[in-house]
A = this chain, B = another copy of it.
Amino acid sequence: MTTVKVPEKLQTLRGFKVSKILNDGKDSSSFGNVVALLGTFPGLMEEEEEESVVLKLSRPPIPLDDLDQLADAITLYERMPYSGMEYGYYHGVVNNSSETFFAPYVSVDVLYPGCLKDESKEAKAKLLAKHISRNQAQRPVIFRENPKTYENAHLPYIEAIPSSAIGWVHKILNKEKELERLLFDDDDVNDGFLLNTDPKWTTHPDPKTTPKEQWMNHPSTRELYCLGLCHRKDVRSLRDLRAAHLPMLRAMAKKGREVIKNTYGLANESLRIFVHYPPQFYHFHVHFTNVSVEHGVSAERAHLLDDVIENIERDSEHYAKRSITCRMGENDELWRRFKELDDKAGAEAADDDAR
Q: Which residues does A use to contact B, with CB under 8 Å?
A: 1, 3, 6, 8-18, 21-27, 29-38, 41, 44-45, 47, 49-64, 67-68, 70-72, 74-76, 78, 84-85, 90, 92, 98, 103-115, 117, 121, 124-125, 128, 131-132, 135-137, 139-144, 269-272, 274, 291-292, 294-295, 297-304, 306-307, 310, 322-323, 325, 327
Contact = CB atoms under 8 A, between A and B. Distances in A.
A351 B93 CA distance: 63
Nearest to A41: B114
A272 B142 contact: yes
Given A23-B137, A61-B35, A304-B300, A121 B56 contact: no
Nearest to A112: B53
This chain's copy number in the assembly: 2
B142 A36 contact: no
A80 to B, nearest CB: 13
Secondary structure of the A contact surface, majority rule: mixed
A63 B15 CA distance: 20
A301 to B, nearest CB: 8
Contacts of A26: 61
Nearest to A94: B57
Given A11-B76, A22-B136, A36-B137, 19 more contacts: A10-B76, A13-B76, A16-B70, A24-B137, A26-B61, A32-B62, A34-B62, A36-B136, A37-B67, A50-B114, A52-B114, A57-B62, A58-B106, A59-B105, A59-B106, A98-B98, A142-B269, A291-B327, A297-B299
